[in-house]
Each structure stands twice: as structure tokens, then as C-alpha cells.
């Protein structure tokens, strides 16, 4: 056990000072020795929290060394039905179970997921660098969701009528943590096809965590996501069925499972970030079909191939279904051989769901954004605090003057000129750095804030605040 812990508190811990610093400052000047010592300690502690938070965020932004734990390190917090994160710590790594079942489920689920990535893929935590795992339970009141906010997992209790607590299914915990794996690897954009792939990859590794924890082969597995979440009386088996998308539930209060099982039924929508939780049914089914055809323990065949692609050098943040499918066929070929059962099964699975083969061209033209309405990704990093912000937007979703300005900038080669004009050496200290990417216009520019015209910098800032979320 050589756990190193340079980060004694998680990134959000600045919220726990009830007494403000200016008041503590006054106490240290007032004269009472005991009070002064306590106040100084508190001030020092708060300062440590603030600087820890800043340096941690900056480190993550720079993809530098991370938390550096060499064994699993979990911290479970209780939001006590508030929406303040992370809440109060209720179970640290190595501590015994608490009377609260949600706390223990979160703790165990994080451990199962960490062990899965460690033992199957030799991956040290979700970022590959020993990131400490943080989970908050009892988030909000009757909150019907769980999410990954970029730094930690958050679980609601459910409404108690349709959904129970979101810690109850280990595949949900594996799903949320895998968003962290994707974030630190392929970093798939969270909208449309790359977003649906992002969702599907979380389902894939979430369900593999469950299967490995239960010791199930592909044939024995139920391929359900969130089977333990639905309350008795709900007409359904789970939230999603990877092998039979669209059949997980059909309930008068919930409606019917909207997932398509193949490309012929791909759902065009602007809601749900372009249907990321809907169209993920298609790659989900491709995975489940491939895994059940290959047989045995799914993480060793199809799971290994999906992991190779996710962590490989070929995948891009804008990857669509057809590109991803071909990458899995290529990865299966290089790992198992071109005519291996694994490569055959994977190729056949993608053909069955209509992603590879005859339907591909029509599918792509139907689902790729038109050139006149491209996706633009803006990210801002750097700055004194080192906080990264990013947004992916469709120009049509922006207010008109901004959309028009974007179109003229993208079409005129302006971003390439801004990039070329920035001084390569001696950048402004604490300056913001922006990246603007728009594959439709062949733009992928890194820009430094101080060298941009004001109206362009303002446009980027407005776009950052109007963007869709990139994680859920």
C-alpha cells in the first residue's frame, strides 16, 4: 500500500467555511490567544483548500500528473438532499460500512469499477493516473438521475414511485465513471453521433463491470442497464436493453423505451443533445450482438476491442458511428487477426444494425450536420485559475448576429490567420487560451486571448456560455 495523497480534499471543498475569511482575519488581530490560534488554523486550512483546488484544476487542464494514487481511493459524500457538491464526507477509503445503504452501494460500485479497469485493462483509475474517485449520494430531492460532472459522480435518490436510488445498479456506477474514462481518452463530443457513442461506451463498460462483478459470460448476462432502478409496479425490466433496444419498458407513466435497434430507425432530434441517450441503442446492440456471437467473457473479446479503439490514436472527438465501427473492425483485426471469430462477429454486428454495409451512405448523409449548419466546438483553458470551459454548438442554435459572425469567420480563413499571428514565444502569463474546431470548415485553431480582436474574443465567450453541456 503506497497510496500517495497530495490532494487532501476534493476540488469542491471550498464551500465548507461557514465563517468568512475577513471575520477570521479580524479574530486573529483581536488578541485572544486561543481564538487567534483557531482562526489562523482555519484560515490556513481554507487557503490550502483554495490553492489545492486551483492547482488541481490547472493540473487536470494541462493533462499533467494527477492524483497519483496507486490503489483504489474512494470518498463518498452526502449532499443531504441539497444540490451543493460534494456535500459532507461520510465514508472514506478503508472505512467500514455505514448504516446508509446508498453510501455503501456507491462505495462498492466505485470499487468494482476501479477493479474492473485495473484488472482487465491494467488502467489505474479512470484517467489512467490514479485519480481519486468521488461520489455524492442523496443529491437533491427525489432526484431522478445520476451524472458525471467532469470530476465526480452524483447520485439522486429517485422519486420513489418510478425510480429508486440510482446507486442500486452497479452498471449505472460503471456508466458514470466511464464518462470519466472517455473524457480523458477519446473525449467524444457530447452531441449527435459522437455523443451517442459517448453514451454507448458508458453503457458498454458499465454492463461489463456488472458482468465481471457477477462472474457472467455474454450468454448468461441480461444486457440490461439500470435493472435495479425501476420501482415495483413499473412495467419494464430496466432503463435500456442493449441486446433488444426499444423493449426495456413500456409503462403508462414512463412511456415506451425510445431506443432504435438499427440505423433505419435512427432518431433525428435536437433534444437530448441530439438524441445521445436514444441513438446509443444502435452501437449498444452492435456491441451486445458481437459479444454474444463471440461468446465467453465479454470484456475479453468485444470489450477489449472497444477499449482498444477508445484509448487508441485513431479515434477523434467527432467520431461518427460508421468511423467507430470501422475502427473496431480494424482493432479486432490487429488484435485477433483479419479472419478471427472476433473480427467476423464485430463486422457482422455492425452490418446487422445497418452501420456498416449497404445502409452506410444514406445513414451518413441523413445524420451528418449539413455544411451550412456545422457543429463548432469552442474551448477555453488557461487563465489564472486554470479552469477549462468548453461548448459545442450548432450555429443555427445561436442568436442571429453571432451565427452570422461565426459563418463569416469560419468561411474566411480568419481563425487560421489569428492562429498564425499569435506569437509562438513568450505568451502572456495567465492569458486565456482558446481552441476553435469546426471540421466542416476544416478549422482547428489554437488561439491566445490577448492576440484576438475584442469582438472575436467576445463572440467566443458568448458561445461558451450558450453551449450545450458536454457531459451528463
- Enumerate binding residues for Zn ion (CB under 5 A): 202
- Please classify residue 117 by burial: count the beta carbons closer than 10 Å to its beta carbon, then call 0-12 exposed, 13-18 middle and 19+ buried: buried
202 vs 213, beta carbon nearer Zn ion: 202
Q: At CA 108, angle to CA 107 and CA 114, rounded to 5? A: 95
- Residues recognised as catalytic: 176, 277
* Angle, in degrees to the nearest 10, between helices 341-352 and 321-336: 170
Instruction: Return the number of the residue (165 or 179) whose C-beta is nearest Zn ion.
Output: 179
Q: 373: cis peptide before it, omega within 30°? A: no
Q: Select the residue whose beta carbon is closest to Zn ion and give its number.
A: 202
* Smallest separation, CB 202 to Zn ion (Å): 5
Between 148 and 434, whose beta carbon lies closer to Zn ion? 148
Other CB atoms within 10 Å distance of the CB of residue 421? 11
Closest by CA to 61, choosing from 286, 385, 466, 424, is 385
Residue 140 has a CB neighbour count (10 Å cut-off) of 15
Closest contact distance (angstroms) between CB of 230 and Zn ion is: 18
Residue 129 CA to residue 125 CA, distance in Å, equals 6
The residue whose grid cell reads 443555427 is: 396
The least CB distance from residue 175 to Zn ion, in Å, is: 6
Task: Between 172 and 353, name the residue whose CB sits nearer to Zn ion.
Answer: 172
Q: How far is CA 53 from the centre of its chain?
A: 20
How many Å apart are CA 387 and CA 57, to the nearest integer? 6
Q: What is the Cα–Cα distance from 274 to 251, expressed in whole angstroms?
A: 24
Chain Cα centroid distance, residue 138: 20
Q: Name the CA dihedral angle for 128, 131, 137, 142, rounded to a multiple of 10 degrees.
A: -50
Q: For the CB of residue 245, give the shortest distance to Zn ion in the complex, in Å.
A: 15
From CA 122, how far away is CA 151, in angstroms rounded? 21
> Do the beta carbons of residue 43 and residue 17 sit within 8 Å?
no
Long-range contacts, 155-159 (Cβ 8 Å, 24+): 155/102, 155/106, 157/81, 157/102, 158/229, 158/231
3-state secondary structure of 359: coil
Q: Hey, how many other C-beta atoms are within 10 angstroms of the C-beta on 88?
A: 11
253 vs 447: CA distance, rounded Å: 49
Task: Please say which residue, 130 or 303, places its beta carbon nearer to Zn ion.
Answer: 303
Q: Shortest Cβ distance from residue 465 to Zn ion (Å)?
A: 23
**In the complex, minimum distance from the CB of residue 331 to Zn ion, in angstroms, rounded to a whole number:** 23
Q: Which is nearer to Zn ion, 113 or 202 (CB)?
A: 202
Give min distance, CB of 307 to Zn ion, in A: 17
Comparison of 136 and 202: residue with beta carbon closer to Zn ion: 202
Provide the grid cell at 277. 441517450
Q: Contact at 8 Å (CB) between 204 and 306?
A: yes
Q: Are 27 and 33 in contact (CB under 8 A)?
A: no
Cα–Cα distance, 183 to 377 (Å, whole number): 15
Dihedral sign, Cα of residue 155, residue 63, residue 423, residue 412: negative
Contacts of 320 (CB under 8 A, 6+ apart): 193, 194, 197, 364, 367, 368
- Taking the complex as a whole, the smallest distance from the CB of residue 20 to Zn ion amounts, in Å, to 37
Structure-block grid coordinates of residue 82: 441539497
Distance in Å, CB of 148 to Zn ion, minimum: 7
Nearer to Zn ion, 169 or 202 (CB): 202
The residue (of 173 and 243) whose beta carbon lies closer to Zn ion is 173
Copy the grid coordinates of residue 192.
Answer: 449527435
Amino acid at each position: 500500500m503506497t497510496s500517495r495523497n497530495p490532494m487532501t480534499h476534493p476540488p469542491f471543498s471550498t464551500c465548507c467555511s461557514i465563517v468568512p475569511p475577513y471575520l477570521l482575519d479580524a479574530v486573529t488581530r483581536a488578541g485572544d490567544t486561543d481564538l487567534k490560534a483557531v482562526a489562523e488554523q482555519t484560515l490556513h486550512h481554507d487557503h490550502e483548500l483554495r490553492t489545492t483546488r486551483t492547482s488541481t484544476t490547472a493540473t487536470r487542464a494541462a493533462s499533467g500528473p494527477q492524483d497519483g494514487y496507486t490503489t483504489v481511493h474512494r470518498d463518498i459524500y452526502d449532499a443531504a438532499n441539497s444540490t451543493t457538491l460534494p456535500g459532507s464526507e461520510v465514508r472514506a477509503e478503508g472505512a467500514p460500512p455505514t448504516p446508509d445503504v446508498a453510501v455503501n452501494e456507491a462505495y462498492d460500485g466505485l470499487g468494482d469499477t476501479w477493479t474492473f479497469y485495473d484488472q482487465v485493462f491494467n488502467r489505474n483509475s479512470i484517467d489512467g493516473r490514479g485519480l481519486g474517485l468521488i461520489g455524492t449520494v442523496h443529491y437533491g430531492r427525489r432526484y431522478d438521475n445520476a451524472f458525471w460532472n467532469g470530476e465526480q459522480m452524483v447520485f439522486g435518490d429517485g422519486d420513489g414511485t418510478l425510480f429508486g436510488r440510482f446507486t442500486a445498479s452497479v452498471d449505472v456506477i460503471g456508466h458514470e465513471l466511464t464518462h470519466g474514462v472517455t473524457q480523458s481518452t477519446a473525449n467524444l463530443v457530447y452531441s449527435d453521433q459522437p455523443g451517442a457513442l459517448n453514451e454507448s461506451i458508458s453503457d458498454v463498460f458499465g454492463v461489463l463491470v456488472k458482468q465481471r462483478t457477477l462472474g457472467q459470460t455474454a450468454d448468461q448476462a441480461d444486457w440490461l442497464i439500470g435493472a435495479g432502478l425501476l420501482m415495483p409496479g413499473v412495467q419494464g425490466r430496466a432503463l435500456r436493453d442493449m441486446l433488444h433496444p426499444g423493449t426495456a419498458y413500456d409503462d403508462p407513466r414512463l412511456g415506451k423505451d425510445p431506443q432504435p435497434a438499427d440505423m433505419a430507425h435512427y432518431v433525428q432530434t435536437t433534444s437530448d443533445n441530439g438524441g445521445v441517450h436514444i441513438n446509443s441503442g444502435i452501437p449498444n446492440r452492435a456491441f451486445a450482438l458481437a459479444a454474444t456471437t463471440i461468446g465467453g467473457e465479454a470484456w475479453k473479446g468485444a470489450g477489449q476491442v472497444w477499449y482498444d479503439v477508445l484509448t487508441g490514436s485513431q479515434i477523434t472527438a467527432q467520431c461518427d458511428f460508421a468511423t467507430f465501427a470501422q475502427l473496431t473492425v480494424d482493432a479486432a483485426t490487429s488484435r485477433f487477426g483479419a479472419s478471427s471469430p472476433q473480427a467476423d462477429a464485430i463486422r457482422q454486428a455492425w452490418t446487422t444494425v445497418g452501420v456498416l454495409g449497404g445502409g452506410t451512405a444514406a445513414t451518413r448523409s441523413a445524420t451528418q450536420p449539413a455544411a451550412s449548419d456545422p457543429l463548432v466546438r469552442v474551448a477555453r483553458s488557461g487563465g489564472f485559475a486554470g479552469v477549462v470551459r468548453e461548448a459545442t454548438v450548432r450555429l443555427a442554435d445561436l442568436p442571429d448576429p453571432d451565427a452570422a459572425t461565426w459563418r463569416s469567420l469560419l468561411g474566411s480563413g480568419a481563425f487560421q490567420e489569428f492562429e498564425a499571428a499569435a506569437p509562438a514565444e513568450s505568451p502572456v502569463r495567465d492569458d486565456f487560451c482558446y481552441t476553435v474546431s469546426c471540421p466542416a470548415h476544416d478549422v482547428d485553431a489554437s488561439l491566445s486571448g490577448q492576440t484576438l480582436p475584442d469582438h472575436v474574443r467576445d463572440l467566443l465567450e458568448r458561445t461558451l456560455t450558450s453551449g450545450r453541456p458536454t457531459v451528463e
